[in-house]
């Protein structure tokens, strides 16, 4: 495969299939070969089934040849996070407590079912920390997933396998989950686009133990590809009682048809959510983003949200779900669980039902505050992460810039993500530039947050910024 094909977007692949200049079989075959070479350095994949992948590619090729393609993603390669059920493949969730033969694995999660219906080619399953519990991707089952920009750095988590694969050109699309930043953290660390849609936009089944904050969403190298993937996976499924109705418009068409000017768009800019602190390069790149938006015609106002860190409420909801998962294991299986998760559960084991009610009340009040903010502003701009990618193999960065990040919890260094899981709003991470960090050159990201159900607005603003900023990804910087 030529590098130009390996790094093609999903939308460009679809056009090449339609005009016959490329075939799904060629692309799938060459991508599998590239994965075999490159992934030895990254450890992004936990399952590859070449026979199944190539069978899907051949079926897609036959449809394209007869003019019966199922849609824009027919034949486009996609990876699936190993928290989502995928019929025919085990879903082991990064855990030694789940055996590959413990189930017949006959069901697809809603997002996977929609992809099959659309003719997408599933390349394999990508890594997650155990049960998706933290902001980096390493687990007792699969080990450490590394960042394509610098393999001594973390890919982020918990959708780190998908982010690393997309950033490294090992497939243009990935489906991840986000319960506290798990799409946006690795997207920022790996220099790609990651979108957490409005809660319920992408159905979830089985129900997540982190259901009040758990989202499913798309990851890609461009906003247009994220929108195209959301068009497919963002459809209702009867197994999720909280799923939203079908969207009334195509997200991909809205992004493609959006004006490049942001005249009339109102942006609230919070560089710190009133409680965080940033690496200087992150701050500089985020300030530069605000200037780009102004140059596109948007009104950008710096705002002080007056927030105290809502992490205590997030911990109550998050670790209640984690305790339920681990508590269901028998004692021998529990002994094989990630020691970091067990230690975190021990730190957060004294929550009461009243604490849960209080956490839910704060969650609702944050949602109210954001609803009021969005009466005046279309989007909120923040950094995506306060630092570039942290070192691989640790849950919390060593020697971080702020003493507040000395906590043992992964939430201590992800201040910009989990608040918007509490509110259920759409939030997208887009690359904002590069940072020199201890001899490495690493990407940084910005986050655009919109009102609930304003997914289209968020994507359109992100696409306009992406086009104006013209970030250079790894395909232009030598990743092979």
- Residue from 401, 393, 380 nearest 340 by CA: 393
Local structure of 435: helix, strand or coil? strand
Catalytic annotation on 250? Answer: no
- Nearest residue to 415 (alpha-carbon basis) of 283, 315, 272, 289: 272
Phi/psi for 89 (5° steps) reads -125, 140
Tokens (6 digits) for 395: 């849950």
Backbone angles phi, psi at 32, to 5 degrees: -60, -40
Give the residue carrying structure tokens 């990064």. 94
CB 215 within 8 A of CB 199: yes
Two structure tokens written together for 14? 């679809």
**Active-site annotation holder among 60, 97, 182, 412:** 182
As to burial, measured by CB atoms within 10 angstroms (0-12 exposed, 13-18 middle, 19+ buried), residue 225 is buried
Q: Where are the alpha helices (DSSP H) in 168-310?
A: 184-190, 223-233, 251-256, 280-295
23 in active site = no
| Alpha-carbon distance values, 297 to 114, 260, 292, 463, 469 (Å) | 37, 10, 9, 14, 14
Give the residue ranges of DSSP H helices in 74-216.
Answer: 110-117, 160-167, 184-190
In the chain, what is the greatest distance between 2 CA atoms, to the nearest angstrom? 62
Which residues have C-beta within 8 Å of that of residue 51, sequence separation ≥ 6?
A: none
Beta strand pairing call for 121-126 and 45-47: antiparallel
CB 176 within 8 A of CB 233: no
Query: CA nearest 8: which of 188, 163, 225, 187?
Result: 225
Given its phi and psi angles, is residue 393 left (phi above 0), alpha (psi -120 to 50 degrees) or beta? left
What CA dihedral angle connects 51, 54, 55 and 60, to 10 degrees? Answer: 170
Q: Which of 23, 158, 270, 400 is catalytic?
A: 158
Residue 260 φ/ψ, nearest 5 degrees: -75, -25
With H, G, I as helix, E, B as strand and everything else as coil, classify residue 194: strand
- Contact at 8 Å (CB) between 184 and 417? yes
Is residue 125 within 8 A of residue 45, CB to CB? The reply is yes
* Burial profile 167-182: b = 16 or more Cβ within 10 angstroms, e = fewer: bbbbbbbbbbbbbbbb
Decide if 134 is catalytic: no
Of 23, 60, 81, 270, the catalytic one is 81
Residues noted as catalytic: 81, 158, 182
């Amino acid at each position: 495969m030529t590098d130009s094909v390996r790094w093609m977007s999903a939308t460009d692949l679809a056009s090449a299939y339609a005009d016959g200049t490329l075939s799904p079989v060629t692309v799938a075959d060459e991508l599998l070969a590239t994965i075999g070479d490159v992934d030895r350095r990254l450890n992004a994949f936990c399952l590859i089934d070449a026979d199944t992948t190539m069978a899907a590619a051949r079926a897609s090729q036959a449809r394209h040849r007869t003019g019966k393609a199922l849609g824009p993603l027919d034949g486009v390669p996609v990876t699936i996070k190993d928290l989502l059920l995928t019929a025919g493949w085990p879903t082991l969730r990064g855990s030694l407590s789940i055996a590959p033969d413990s189930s017949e694995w006959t069901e697809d999660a809603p997002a996977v079912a929609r992809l099959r219906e659309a003719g997408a080619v599933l390349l394999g399953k990508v890594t997650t920390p155990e049960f998706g519990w933290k902001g980096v991707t390493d687990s007792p089952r699969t080990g450490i997933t590394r960042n394509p920009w610098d393999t001594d750095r973390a890919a982020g988590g918990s959708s780190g396998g998908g982010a690393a694969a997309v950033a490294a050109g090992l497939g243009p699309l990935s489906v991840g989950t986000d319960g506290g930043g798990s799409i946006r953290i690795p997207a920022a660390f790996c220099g790609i686009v990651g979108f957490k849609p409005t809660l319920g936009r992408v159905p979830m089944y089985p129900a997540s133990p982190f259901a009040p904050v758990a989202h499913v969403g798309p990851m890609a190298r461009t906003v247009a590809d994220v929108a195209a993937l959301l068009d497919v996976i963002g459809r209702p499924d009867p197994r999720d009682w909280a799923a939203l109705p079908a969207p009334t418009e195509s997200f991909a068409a809205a992004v493609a048809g959006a004006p490049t000017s942001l005249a009339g768009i109102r942006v609230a800019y919070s560089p710190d959510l009133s409680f965080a602190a940033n690496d200087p390069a992150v701050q500089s790149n985020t300030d530069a983003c605000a200037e780009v938006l102004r140059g596109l015609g948007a009104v950008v106002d710096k705002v002080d949200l007056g927030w105290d860190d809502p992490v205590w409420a997030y911990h109550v909801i998050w670790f209640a779900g984690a305790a339920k998962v681990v508590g269901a294991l028998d004692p021998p299986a529990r002994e094989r669980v990630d020691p970091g998760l067990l230690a975190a559960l021990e730190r957060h084991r004294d929550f009461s039902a009243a604490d849960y009610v209080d956490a839910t009340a704060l969650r609702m009040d944050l949602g109210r505050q954001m609803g009021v903010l969005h009466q005046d502003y279309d989007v909120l701009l923040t950094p995506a992460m306060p630092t570039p990618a942290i070192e691989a193999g640790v849950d919390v960065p060593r020697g971080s810039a702020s003493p507040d990040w000395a906590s043992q919890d992964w939430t201590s260094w992800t201040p910009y993500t989990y608040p918007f899981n509490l509110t259920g709003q759409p939030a997208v991470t887009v690359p904002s530039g590069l940072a020199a960090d201890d001899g490495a050159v690493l990407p940084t990201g910005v986050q655009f947050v919109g009102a609930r159900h304003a997914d289209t607005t968020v994507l359109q603003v992100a696409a306009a910024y992406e086009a104006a900023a013209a970030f250079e990804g790894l395909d232009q910087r030598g990743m092979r």
